Amino acid sequence: MACTSMMPNSNVNNHKFPTHASPRPWSGRVNVNTKSETLLAKRLVVASAVAPPIVATKVGKTMSKLARVWREVQGSSNWKGLVEPLDPLLRQEIIRYGDFVTACYKAFDLNPASKRYLNCKYGKKSMLSEVGLGDSGYEVTRYIYATPDINIPIQNDQCCGRWIGYIAVSSEEETRRLGRRDILVTFRGTVTNPEWVANFMSSLTPARLDPHNPRPDVKVEAGFLTLYTSDESTSCKFGLGSCREQLLSEVSRLLNKYKGEEMSITLAGHSMGSSLALLLAYDIAELGLNRNNDSNQETPITVFSFAGPRVGNSGFKQRCEELGVKVMRVVNVNDPITKLPGVVFNDQNFRVLGGRYEFPWIYSCYAHVGVELALDFFKMQNPSCVHDLETYLNLLRCPKGLQIRKEGTDLLKKARELILSGAQNIDTLPWKNAASTMMSLVQSQRMFS
C-alpha cells in the first residue's frame, strides 16, 4: 500500500501545555506539513515513522495528565502548539473519539432480512460492549434517528427515520480520569437512500435555528439542514421527532442532571456525520444551552470532525467562532469530499482576492470551520480509501506501519497536469485509471456522504 504520512513527531517529553485555558486568537488553517517547509516536513515524517506507539505501561501517566490539561486538549486555545507537531495526548484523544464514531458503523444493521434493518443491532446498555468498547467508561443514554424531508420508502415502510448515532455520558470513574463529565454525541456517515438525496441538495439556506434572532447571513447546506430538522409528523402517525429535537432534549437533560459539575460537550462524526455534529454544536451554543446562568460559566463545546465536507458559509464560520465552538478537522488532503461543497465558491479561493476587491456575495461562499489536521494518504489500487474512517484512524494509530512517500499523492492535481501537458512521454495509464475511479468517488460521495 503506497501511502503518505504527514504525521509529526510525537515526543512527549519535549512538549509543554499552555498553563491557561482562555482562548487565543486563531489565524486559520493549521497543517501538519506544508510545501514551503519541505526539509522540516521530511524530518517530521521520518520522526513519526519511528515514534514508538502508545503502550499500556504509559496509559496511567498519560491519563493523569489529561485530567489536568483537558481544556487545552479540547481546544480552549485552538490547539495552539499541539498540532505542529501533533501532541501524543491530543493524538490519543482524536483516536478515542474516532473509535466512538466507528462504533456507529459496527452497530448499524445492513442486513435486509433483519428486523432491525437500517437501525442499531443492539440495545443501549449493550451496544458499546458489542462493538468492543465495553471498557470505554461511557454509558449510552439515547439513540438518535434522522429523517430527511424526502419520501423514499424502504421495504414499503412509509417512515424513513433511521438510526444515525447515539448520545453517551462518562461514568463516575471515567469522569475522574478525564477531569470532567463528558457528554458525547456521535454520528455515522450516510447509508440510506433518503440521506443520499438530501446530501445531493448542495445549496445554501439560512439556518434560522434561533427563533429570537434568525441571523439571515448565517447559512448552511440545505441537505444537511433537512436531515437535522425534518421529522415524521406528516408521514407517520407515531413518527419520530426531528433529529434536532431528540438531540437538544437529551443534551439539555444531561446538562441539567450534572449541573454543578465540570463538564464538556464533545461531538464527533464522519463525513455527513461530522456535518450534523457541527450543526448541533452551533445550535447548542446559539441557543445558549451550554451557559449556566447561575455561575455565568459555559460548558465547552468541541467537535472532532473526520473527513467532513463544508457545512456553511462564511457567516456560519464567523458565528461559530464568536460562540466559542471549537472544531478539530481531521482530513486527508487527497479526500475530495473534504473539498465539497463549494469547490470553486469557497472562502479560500476568494480570500486571495479579498485584499483588493470587495465581494457583496461573499456570504454565498462555503467555508470550513476550525483547525485542520491534515493527513496525506492514497492507495493507487483503491482510491476510495482516501475517505475511509478506519484508514484515517489506522494512520493516526501507527504511522510507522505505513509506507512513507512524499511525492505523487495529489491525484486530482496530477490528473490535471496530465491533461494540460499531454503526458506523452510517461506511462499515464495507472494515473488515468485512478483518476477515473476518483471522479466516480466524487460523484458518488456527493450523494453518499
CA distance 362 to 349: 11
Run of H or E including 221: strand 219-221
Is 335 a residue of the active site?
A: yes
How do 326-332 and 371-375 pair as beta strands? Answer: parallel
Nearest to 448, CA basis, from 209, 246, 258, 271: 271
**What is the percent of the chain where pLDDT is above 70?**
61
What does the block give as the cell for 208? Answer: 434560522
> 189 is written with which cell numbers?
456517515
Question: By the 8 A CB rule, do 120 and 109 touch?
Answer: yes
Give the count of beta carbons closer than 10 Å to the beta carbon of residue 401. 13
Q: Are the C-beta atoms of residues 268 and 319 closer than 8 Å to each other?
A: no
Tell me, what's the pLDDT at 235? 54
Contact 301, 228 (CB under 8 A): no
76 is an active site residue:
no
The answer to whether residue 390 scores a pLDDT higher than 70 is yes
Is 226 exposed, middle or buried (CB count within 10 Å of its CB: 0-12, 13-18, 19+)? buried
- In this prediction, residue 382 has a pLDDT band, given cuts at 50, 70 and 90, of confident
Q: Which helix (H) or strand (E) holds 273?
A: helix 272-287
147 Cβ contact partners less than 8 Å away, ≥ 6 residues apart = 159, 160, 161, 162, 194, 227, 230, 231, 232, 239, 240, 242, 243
Beta bridge partners of 154: 157
Domains of the chain by range and CATH? 35-448 (3.40.50.1820)
Query: Taking the model in full, what pTM does it have?
Result: 0.74
Q: Give start and end residues of each alpha helix (H) in 116-242.
A: 127-130, 172-178, 193-199, 222-229
pLDDT at 114 over 70: yes
The three-class DSSP label of residue 391 is helix
- pLDDT at residue 356 is higher than 50: no
Catalytic residue status for 271: yes
Catalytically annotated residue among 230, 271, 314, 449: 271
224-278 pLDDT, tens per residue?
Answer: 998 899 886 655 655 578 999 999 999 999 999 999 999 999 999 999 999 999 9
Q: Is the pLDDT of residue 294 over 60?
A: yes
pLDDT, position 233: 62
pLDDT given at position 305: 98
Residue whose C-alpha cell reads 510525537 in the numeric block: 10
By mean pLDDT, which of 53-67, 92-106, 412-426 is the weakest? 412-426
b/e map 329-347, b = 16+ CB within 10 Å: bbbbbbbbbbbbbbeeebb
Per-residue b/e over 410-426, b at no fewer than 16 CB within 10 Å?
ebeebbeeeeeeeeeee
- Model pLDDT, residue 240: 74
